[in-house]
Structure 1
Amino acid sequence: METTAAGRPPTCLLTTWGVTRLALLLFVFRVFLFPGPDVTSDVFVTYRGWYDVLSTGTFPAADVTWQYPPAAALAILSPGLLPFLDYASAFFVLAFLADLAVLMLLLNTGLRPGRSLRGAWMWVAGVPLLGPTVYSRYDVMVTAVAVAALVAGVRRPRVMGALTGLAVLLKVWPALLLAGAVRKRAWGAAAVTVGALAALFALAMPGAFAFLTFQRDRGTEVESLGALALHVARQFGWQGRVLLHYGSLEFLGPYVGVVSDVALGLTAVAFGWLLLWRLTAKRFAPQTLAEAAFTAVLLFTVTSRVISPQYLVWLIGLAAVCLCFRAGRMGLPAVLVLAASFVTVLEFPVFFADVVASSPLGLALLFLRNGLLVAAALTAAVRLWRSTAPRAATGASAAGRAARGSEPAVSP
């Protein structure tokens, strides 16, 4: 094993990872019960049901809860690789291995000259803060592919593009990994991978793109930023209800459509800002690729109509890659994401009944968690902009240095 700069293996880091992951496994295998509703039911019931349908060679196109791009079938079918285990047990083991893969990627990156183990620590500390939900959703598998793409991106843009293309067809959001990619090879490889895999799924399995309709029809989920307005409205007599709708608990009732439209408008604003940043950015350092991806995913997360707990897994993984770079500027947003992760496990699953009921405790937890995410998004956006914007005063400062007889200026 590689060692740290001091010549010692990162024993404390690996021990902490082992202890915390053992705790997660004990919870998902129900050796100990985690407070709140059972988060593993998605694996035992929903994923297992999809597995049975997908095993027949078709997508669950009639199931409105199937809202994922076609390569998600690979994650749902993956427990079949461990036929000696039952479906749920195999899924938990594979989620654990995906977690381990991310750690190895971050360790390999962090132990290089000029890099840092802060990223590995971010992952080690952040994942258990979310509780057993991490091993009960396939998002940790998607995050592993996304982290691999970003780690490869600095030196191997084609590899990054291919991995990003695969990740996009696993869960769409990794398309934002390309926000800071400056090499056409990354974009080209991503496009080719998406096109080839999409065509393959469309030809081989009916219903590959039915998820697009189901995603379009989703409403405002109770944990989202927009839902806060409806939670508050409830305190003043608003008669809306919370019901299971398109696979999650959403608000239904008057003005919900308006809130959803506002969320979509904010997403459009976030996209516009991201486009403006990309057109004006002039200075791209090695860490910019990861920092742009982290910022983009933060912006689109906070403006989404849905902020499920597993979304934080994405943010922890991307923040971890950012922290692998000593020269990176995402330390504060990463800390805010860690804090939001801890509050997230309190709002789901521990006190989720209070969130659904819009109780004072539920409202406080949602305001705090979503407030932390908004603060992280805005801070990351400002830092990304400042770190890549052209230095307007470069010429003046160079002239000043020349007049003082200092060393000549170097173009940034």
Structure 2
Amino acid sequence: MPTTPPSAGPSSVSRLGPWHWLVFVVGVMPVLAYAFSPRVGDLELYFRSARALLAGATPNQDFRFEYPPYALLWFVPAAWLRDTEPGFVRVFGLQLVVLDAFIKWVLLTEGARLWGRAWRSMVPCLAYSVTTWVASVYYLKRYDLIPAALTLAALLAVSRRRDVLAGLALAVGVVTKLYPLVLVPLLVVVCWKRGTLGRLSLGLALGLAPLLALSTVWPWWGFASFHVNRGLQVESLAASLVWAAHHLGWVQGVIWLKAPAAYELHGTVAENAKGVMRWLWVLGTLCMTALGAWAARHRPTEHVGDLARLALVPLLAFIILNPVLSPQFLTWVIGLAALSLLSGSPTVPLLILAAGLMSRGTFIGPGYRVGSGVVQTLLILTRNGFLLTAGFLMLREVWRARVFCAQEARLALAPGASALPPLPAARSS
């Protein structure tokens, strides 16, 4: 069970030293350079959608918008300031750099709170920085960094007992990308346990309130129909297994083709795999969300590293079991993984960060457009294997904590029995 060492108390909060600031600058500068690069990626879609909204068009009525409604509102400022695509790319890129800097600042300050100016206080930020440099092709040319920063802000706010702010950040994250919804039960349990559920609920209500106004002029719920009809994305766990079987000659009739939003596998085998994975995804995510909430009820959750670690329980299930697994989904968890280096075993965070690094290889060469070759298929399989292993390790970690809590409860009820010794501290002073 993670416990904060004596040196991690409020009296030991350390200011960032010169080496921390050097790591911060070195971590952000390459990101700034790539954010201003002319590479467009999905930013073209963001620009066109925002300009259409500014021209008076209604999303999902006059034009298709495939994301939750707040996502479009994040695109509007850059499109309003710059009416050309190159200008939009630069301004929106600057927005993402600010959020990237926020995440790296959190990693450094939390490391300093725990370990002062020791070198290991900089390890989470360094690990995250290297991953973001390599992953910049999807890290900075998609908008997933926005909900990732909001999610981290919500966990940080809860750890600081600013529960209204936590609820607000989480609600905005949900209506920006939807996936933070699986973290709502976790935060509800944490705040219920400390008696501040009302404050969290107020923050959630404030974040969701604008949806009432939007609903009168914008059928924003139309984005869901687009995703219901999506196929088996080539980077998903099931697709990587089907495509590997195709390479081995075990299955026939598997087709790799360009769909409206991604590359997908089609054919009888792929359709059957998609059907199975959809059920596994829903059931697995629900079970892991419930397990993460249960763990929050029985484990320390005051340190943001502990919260980040528990957040990985439902998020890993949501990602690896998803029949749609885009490389940018790793943006959702690499920041939490780096933060989890402050709490517990480093194995799970390192597996996730390694998966983030490997996702860059998905786009190398022409194989992504016509069907990945053997080497690229092995890379995708390895990446997915790392994520699946990380998920199993988190499941085992939470299960072992459950067994320990059950034993502790039985001993507490036994008259005259001594308490079990605490689990070893996961963070040392």
TM-score by length of 1: 0.83
* Residues 6-405 of structure 1 mapped to structure 2, 5 A cutoff: 9-30=16-37, 40-43=40-43, 45-61=44-60, 66-80=65-79, 82-83=81-82, 86-112=87-113, 117-154=122-159, 155-181=161-187, 182=189, 183=191, 184-185=197-198, 188-189=201-202, 191-193=204-206, 195-203=208-216, 205-235=217-247, 236=249, 238-274=252-288, 276-277=290-291, 281=295, 282-286=297-301, 287=303, 288-324=306-342, 328-329=343-344, 331-347=346-362, 349-351=363-365, 353=367, 356-387=370-401, 389-394=403-408
Q: 1:272 to 1:165 in 2, by over 3 A?
A: closer
Q: Which has the higher helix share?
A: 2
Distance 1:311 1:223 in 2: 11
Any idea what the Cα deviations from partners look like across 1:64-111, whole Å, max 9, x if unmatched?
A: 873211000122113146559811111111111111122223333333
Query: Which of 179-188 and 390-399 deviates more?
Result: 390-399
Secondary structure of the 1:123 match is helix
Aligned residues: 393
Shift of 1:307: 1.6
Does the CA-based 8 Å contact 1:130-1:342 persist in structure 2? yes
Does the CA-based 8 Å contact 2:258-2:264 persist in structure 1? yes
TM-score by length of 2: 0.80
Shift of 1:323: 3.1
Q: 1:276 to 1:342 in 2, by over 3 A?
A: closer
Shift of 1:208: 1.5
Shift of 1:121: 3.4
Shift of 1:264: 1.1
User: 1:34 is matched with which residue?
Assistant: none
Q: 1:207 to 1:7 in 2, by over 3 A?
A: closer
Gap runs ≥5 in structure 1: 32-37
Q: 1:378 to 1:346 in 2, by over 3 A?
A: same
Secondary structure of the 2:215 match is helix
Tell me the C-alpha RMSD between the 2 structures. Answer: 3.3
Any idea what the Cα deviations from partners look like across 1:290-336, whole Å, max 9, x if unmatched?
A: 22212211111001112211111111122233334xxx225211100
Counterpart residue identity of residue 291, structure 1: R
User: 2:4 is matched with which residue?
Assistant: none
Does the CA-based 8 Å contact 1:355-1:363 persist in structure 2? no
Q: 1:350 to 1:190 in 2, by over 3 A?
A: farther
Does the CA-based 8 Å contact 1:284-1:388 persist in structure 2? no
Counterpart residue identity of residue 311, structure 1: F
Counterpart residue identity of residue 186, structure 2: G
Shift of 1:272: 4.0
Shift of 1:368: 0.8
Distance 2:256 2:230 in 1: 13
Gap runs ≥5 in structure 2: 1-11, 192-196, 424-429
Any idea what the Cα deviations from partners look like across 1:37-70, whole Å, max 9, x if unmatched?
A: x5x2321x22221121121344432688732110
Counterpart residue identity of residue 240, structure 2: L
Distance 1:199 1:365 in 2: 45
